[in-house]
Copies of this chain bind each other. A is one copy, B any other.
Amino acid sequence: MPSVPLIEESAASPEVRAVFDDIKATRNTDWINNFWKALANDPATLHRTWESLKEVMAPGALDPLTKELIYLAVSVTNSCSYCMASHGASAKRLGMSKEMFAELIAVVGMANETNRLADGYRVPVDERFENLF
C-alpha cells in the first residue's frame, strides 16, 4: 500500500498532466509508472524531480546506459526495491543484457564487501590518491 493514493492521468490537475505529458513525450511512451503517480500528490516535487532527472540522465560525458547502470548500482546498494525494478527496466531498454546485469551485481557486491574491509581496517588514504582532479 502506498503512503498516498496514486494519481491516475484521468484525475490529474493541469499542472500534473503537463509533467505526465512531458514524461511520455521524452520517453516516447504512452505509459506513466507508479513513481510519478505517487509524486503527483505533491506537484512541486513531481515537477522538480522530473526536471532534475531529465537533466541529470541526459547524454553528456557519460552515455545514458552508463548512467542507468550507475543508478541501478546505487539502488541495489540502498536496497530500494522499486528503484531496482524501474531502473533495471530502464537499463534493459537502453541495452543492458542479462550478462551485463549479472556483472553489475557482482561489482556492486564486491564494492560493498571491500568498502567494509577498508573501513574495518581503517586504512589510511595513500598520499598519491589525495587529489583526484
Contacts and interface: CB of A to CB of B under 8 A. Distances in A.
B3 A133 contact: yes
A18 interface: no
A119 B79 contact: yes
Q: What class of interface size applies to chain A in its complex with B?
A: 35 or more
Interface majority SS (helix, strand, loop, mixed), chain A? helix
Interface of A: 1-6, 33-35, 38-39, 41-42, 44-45, 48-49, 52-53, 55-57, 60-62, 66-67, 69-71, 73-89, 92, 97-126, 128-133
A78 to B, nearest CB: 5
B77 A114 contact: no
B83 A122 contact: no
A20 to B, nearest CB: 15
A88 B34 contact: no
28 contacts: A1-B122, A1-B124, A3-B101, A4-B121, A35-B117, A35-B118, A38-B123, A41-B102, A42-B102, A44-B55, A44-B106, A49-B114, A56-B106, A56-B110, A62-B103, A66-B66, A69-B70, A70-B108, A71-B111, A80-B115, A81-B125, A82-B119, A82-B125, A92-B133, A105-B120, A106-B117, A108-B120, A112-B112
